[in-house]
Structure 1
Amino acid sequence: MKILAIETSCEHASVALLLDDSVVERRLVGHANHSEHLLPTLRSLLADAGLSLTNLDAIGFGAGPGAFTGLRLACGTVQGIAIGADLGVVPVSSLAALALQGEGEAVFVATDARMGEIYSAAYSVNGTEVMECRGPMCTPPAQLALPPEGAWFGIGAALQVYAADLPALLLARLSGQNSAAVPRAADVARLAAVRYLAGDVVAPEAAVPLYVRDKVALTTAERLARGGRA
């Protein structure tokens, strides 16, 4: 199986190529230059593997939630490539991809949504099989909550960025945490491969980002209400 994957939902962007059981990943350096370096890096990745786009089975991308600009970049790039090469597309939740870096079977993902909010979701993880226990949502740090039962391994930058504002009960129920991990294209590729085998593939024009939140900035009144400046 040959899956090309893109993950640009945060400033730590990457691309990856899955070839059966192995994955090669490359990071894109420089948040402001993701769009400039994305296509050349993809071409280089394929060239080094001796492949063309027509050799691929599908293209996967981190659909979010995450930075709006990054999600649009990944989705638009994948659509253009897939249409030109007559390939199917596999949108993958960036939070589910991040869950693969957790420890144990119960993984709670919390990433920085900016504007004083957190994207979160809960998953049951068994190898590369990731089952959604609670779907992606966007909440203020003080309202972040785990599923009702059990201990969960926490992963994602929000656990550090908003550490002082998180509920004490939530922190007490974490079996451990990794706040340094970010979504990776290699994990997007692994999950895309699982979904591809299950027939969960969409036409390029049907691929869309997972926004969760439909606004990119706070109004002046909202910033002032949160203690910010006008």
Structure 2
Amino acid sequence: MKLLALDTSTEACSVALRLNDEVLALDEVCPQQHSKRVLPMVQQLLSDAGLTLSQLDGLVFGKGPGSFTGVRIGVGVAQGLAFGADLPLYGISTLAAMAQAAQRLHQARQVLAAIDARMAEIYFGEYQLDDSGVMQLQGLEQAIRPELLQPRTHSAECTAVGTGWQTYGAVLQQWQPAQSTDILYPSARDMLTLAGPAWQAGSFVAAEQAEPSYVRDTVSWQKLPGR
């Protein structure tokens, strides 16, 4: 199985290549530079592996949530590459990818993932590790003000990931104490792990069927004073 994953949905730009059991990955924090960096990073990994795009089996992309512009860049680049090489696609949640990173790096079993969504909101999802070592979403991903999160029905030890915990840590820790980590952004490496079961199940789709997941589809802009 040869899969390439890319993500540009947050401040980080991430690309990873899976060759059977081996993974090559590049991660850069480069705000507003994703459109310039993502294709060179893809080419670097393919060159390091001695592969061309057409030799891959499929592409994986970060479908969001995250920056609207960043999500669109990632989906657009993935679709362009897929059309050119006639490859199938599969989208992975950025929140799920961070949860999977917590399992890989900290052996976490229950993860609360939160991305700063601006406008006093977070993109939020709760994940639980299944028996195969893959993080599974509990409930729904949502865009919500941190103080409006509903009380949890259980108090199992949780791991915190994402910039939402950095920005709204005091509120979130009061709502549910969680073990803090240094995982702020999703990595394409973990998207490959999550895409494995989808590949085995035949869930990859044609390029024209790839869709983003903004979670928050409508945005209310406040008029600036004097404008």
State if a TM-score over 0.5 links the two structures. Answer: yes
1:155 to 161, 170, 189: 161
Identical counterparts, % of pairs: 38
Task: Give the equivalent residue in structure 1 for 2:212.
Answer: 209
CA distance in 2, matches of 1:8, 1:32: 10
Shift of 1:216: 4.8
> Aligned ranges for residues 1-230 of structure 1 at < 5 Å?
1-102=1-102, 103-126=107-130, 128-145=133-150, 147-151=152-156, 152-166=158-172, 168-171=174-177, 174=178, 176-178=179-181, 180-216=183-219, 218-220=221-223
Deviations 1:7-45 (A, max 9, x none): 111111111101111211112452222101211221121
CA distance in 2, matches of 1:84, 1:180: 33
- Stretches of structure 2 that go unaligned for 5 or more consecutive residues are none
In the superposition, the TM-score normalised over structure 1's length comes to: 0.88
CA distance in 1, matches of 2:151, 2:70: 27
2:116 match: secondary structure: strand
Aligned length: 221
Instruction: Say whether the 8 Å CA contact 1:134–1:147 is kept in structure 2.
Output: no
Deviations 1:145-177 (A, max 9, x none): 464223222222211211233362423xx3x12
Deviations 1:72-115 (A, max 9, x none): 00100111111111110010111111101224321111111111
List structure 1 segments (4+ residues) > 4 angstroms apart after TM superposition: none
Shift of 1:123: 1.1
In the superposition, the TM-score normalised over structure 2's length comes to: 0.89
Deviations 1:152-209 (A, max 9, x none): 22222211211233362423xx3x1225431001111221222111211111111011
- Stretches of structure 1 that go unaligned for 5 or more consecutive residues are none
CA RMSD of aligned residues (A): 2.1
CA distance in 2, matches of 1:148, 1:9: 31
